[in-house]
Structure 1
Amino acid sequence: MKYEVEVDINMPRESVIRLFDNPDNMKHWQPGLVRFEHLSGEPGEVGAKSKLYYRMGKREVEMIETITCKNLPNEFSGIYEAKGVWNHVQNHFIEIDENKTVWKSVNEFRCSGFLKIMIFLMPGIFKKETCKYLVNFKEFAESI
């Protein structure tokens, strides 16, 4: 399944990137994030791997992030893998003017097991969750 979502952020692109590219800020806009742990490679650079730990309700989810493209301020992309889920995310940051940036997120999901059924029956859930993260980031960034 593939989809795109975007959000307008009322900030200069340089400021958006500074906030986005700092892993310490993730807890401010990713609900349920418990911990971010660097595993290998140069932190924050192409090829780097990190483990993200989330609490989602009563479940704990571990996800591996592999950075596949870091061409900031234009693009930051990665592959996110968890049990039964493979997600390729391309984040594009488009400067509209000196005080407005569009964050466009292009997502491709491949799932197995129960999640494969979920994608088929309710694909909107994945898109809605992605939108939530983008809006959370917008609110966090614009509140600073």
Structure 2
Amino acid sequence: MKYYEEIVINKPRKEVVAKFSDPDNLKHWQKGFVSIKPINGLPGEEGSQNLLKYIMGKREVEMTETILKNNLPDEFSATYEAKGVYNYQINKFTPTMEKTTLWNSYNEFEFSGFMKIFGWFMPGAFKKQSRKYMEDFKAFVEDEKSVLDD
């Protein structure tokens, strides 16, 4: 499954990328985020890996992030692997003439095991979650609104 999302953030790219690249900010725009722990390489560098933990509904989800490309402010690409789910993601940040930032996110998912059924019957759930994260990030950057305040 592949899809593309984009959103315009009403702040300059430098500010947007600074907030995006700071792992301490994940809790403010990714609802359910619990922790991030470096497990291989230097944090933020290409080839490095992190263990991410989330609470989704009543279950804890762990995934391994592998950074493929980090040439911010232009692009950040990574893979995310969890039980039954593999996600390849490219994020690009483009400044606009109006001193806003266009965030493009390209996603490709592959499923295995039980998640193959979930991915087949509910593909919109993944796109909806990606869109929600982008909207929450926009609110965090523009208005300092945190999902922790909900």
Name the structure 1 match of 2:21: 21
- Identify the range of structure 1 (13-22 vs 108-117) with the bigger mean alpha-carbon deviation: 108-117
Question: Percent of aligned pairs with the same residue?
Answer: 53
Q: Is residue 2:86 matched to residue 1:90?
A: no
SS in 1 for 2:96: strand
Output the CA distance in 2 between the equivalents of 1:97 and 1:80: 33
Which residues of structure 2 form unaligned runs of 5+?
A: 145-150
Residue equivalent to 2:4: 4
Corresponding residue for 1:105? Answer: 105
Q: 1:57 Cα deviation (Å)? A: 1.3
RMSD value, Cα: 0.9
Deviations 1:64-101 (A, max 9, x none): 00000011111001000000010000001111125210
Q: Which residue of 1 aligns with 2:130?
A: 130
Return the letter of the residue paired with 1:29.
Answer: W
Q: Normalising to structure 2: TM-score of the pair? A: 0.93
Q: Which runs of 5+ in 1 are unaligned?
A: none
Q: Write out the 4+ residue segments of structure 1 that deviate beyond 4 Å after TM superposition.
A: none
Count of equivalent residues: 144
- TM-score where L is the length of structure 1: 0.97
Q: Equivalent residue for 2:147?
A: none
* Secondary structure of the corresponding residue to residue 47 of structure 1: coil
Q: Give, in whole Å, the separation in 2 of the partners of 1:14 and 1:98.
A: 14
Q: 1:121, CA displacement in angstroms?
A: 1.7
Q: Does 1:116 align with 2:139?
A: no
Instruction: Give the Cα separation in 2 of the matches to 1:84 and 1:13.
Output: 35
Q: Does 1:61 align with 2:65?
A: no
